[in-house]
Chain A
Amino acid sequence: MTGEQVVAPGPGSAAGPALVGIVLVSHSARVAEAVADLARELAAGGTVAPVAAAGGTAVGGLGTSAERIVAAARAVDRGAGVALLADLGSSVLTVKALLMEDELPPGSWLLDAPFVEGAVAAVVTASTGAPPAEVAASAADAYTYRKT
């Protein structure tokens, strides 16, 4: 868990304990990418948990692509679980439908958290090697940060 080493795929790899992967699902590819960048930057300083953006439709429009979500989840799966965070409507429903049909890697689950704050909390926590329950709790906790 030291240095900027790339986390090798597979559970319990030589790079240390497998990390929970994070998938950010947005109606907009730019929103998903930007939030992924923001979360990675704020988690930097050591190992950063694998984060993938799944934004927009397969043809580059606004909306949700089941294929992109499945591909992103597979890309960040290190065998320690995959946390998916979705923004609105069809993003949430598509992830839920894929979970119901067992189309995501084992140990995948939908986070209940605000999109930007939850993403940062989840990536920072996952980067410490925390187990899924801690990643989920930390992301959900972001709902309680009042702004006024």
Chain B
Amino acid sequence: MRDAEFFRRWMAAAAAAVEREADRLTELDSPIGDADHGSNLLRGFTAVLAALEAEPSAAAPGAVLQLAGRTLISTVGGASGPLYGTLLRRTGKALGESAEVSDAELREALSEGVGAVAQLGGAAPGDKTMLDALVPGVAALGTSYRAAGSAAENGALATVPMQARKGRASYLGERSIGYQDPGATSSALLLGALADVAESAGAR
């Protein structure tokens, strides 16, 4: 079972990964985006850590993720804010108010969160978006946390030959081909952070 502390550690690991990779995310976002993905996410996750620290009463997994999501929506300033914010909020809502959740419940809740992202952005796998990492990643959670992290990473790599059909990159048409999608890359970081935290907690 996973308690609020597990989810706080996940957010901290995600923030650390974003900080480590911020320059790379922004670099990926320069040829096909507006070169702010790394700095936007860094601002967002830094605010998430501060919000969680200021709210020790967020003592349930669902509350932790909802607070994180709300913070991302208000602080990021770019499209990744509402998208990641909705992912975490919807996942948090699906987890409900239980003080502990099972791995199966987390998997189910994350699927709902990913569904909400697809609905919000009107995107589907193959459109060269974060869904290309999230959908295979969450599907592989049924195998293991590490498998989810790897599947998301592979999903991000698989966006290179795709032509963007959503967001700023879609204006580039065929010229978007040949670049890895920054949103899929940061989604892989998020699921990679989850895998790291689960492994250090002694999961499969």
Instruction: Look across to chain A and name the residue whose beta carbon is closest to the beta carbon of B66.
Output: A101
Q: Is the CB of B120 within 8 A of A93?
A: yes
Which one of B83-91, B134-142, B193-201 is at the interface?
B83-91
Number of B residues with CB within 8 Å of any CB on chain A: 21
Q: Is A98 an interface residue (CB 8 A)?
A: yes
The distance in angstroms between the C-alpha atoms of A57 and B80, with both chains bound, is: 14
Question: Mind listing 17 A-B residue pairs with CB under 8 Å?
Answer: A63-B36, A63-B77, A64-B78, A65-B77, A66-B73, A66-B74, A66-B81, A66-B82, A67-B74, A90-B76, A90-B77, A93-B81, A94-B81, A97-B73, A97-B82, A100-B116, A101-B73
- Within the complex, the shortest CB–CB distance from B2 to chain A, in Å, comes to 24
Known: A100-B86, A100-B116, A101-B89. A93 touches B121 (CB 8 A): yes
List the interface of chain B (C-beta within 8 A of A): 36, 40, 70, 73-74, 76-83, 85-86, 89, 116, 120-121, 167-168
Tell me if A's interface is mostly helix, strand, loop or mixed: helix
Interface of chain A residues 47 through 106 with chain B (CB within 8 A): 57-58, 61, 63-67, 88-90, 93-94, 96-98, 100-101
Q: Roughly how many angstroms separate A94 CA and B69 CA in the complex, as a whole number? A: 12
A89 pairs with B168, CB closer than 8 A: yes
Which A residues lie at the B interface, using CB under 8 A?
A: 57-58, 61, 63-67, 88-90, 93-94, 96-98, 100-101
Chain B contact residues, majority secondary structure:
helix
Question: Does A63 contact B74, Cβ atoms closer than 8 Å?
Answer: no
Closest to B119 in A: A100
Closest chain B residue to A97, Cβ basis: B82
Instruction: Give the residues in chain A near B86, CB-CB below 8 Å.
Output: 97, 100
- Contact status A90-B73, CB under 8 Å: no
Residues of B within 8 A of A64 (CB): 77-78, 81
Q: Chain A nearest CB: distance from B89 CB in Å? A: 7
Q: B82 — which chain A residues lie within 8 A by C-beta?
A: 66, 90, 93-94, 96-97
Residues of A within 8 A of B70 (CB): 101
Judging by beta carbons under 8 Å apart, are A90 and B116 in contact? no
Contact partners of A98 in chain B: CB under 8 A: 73
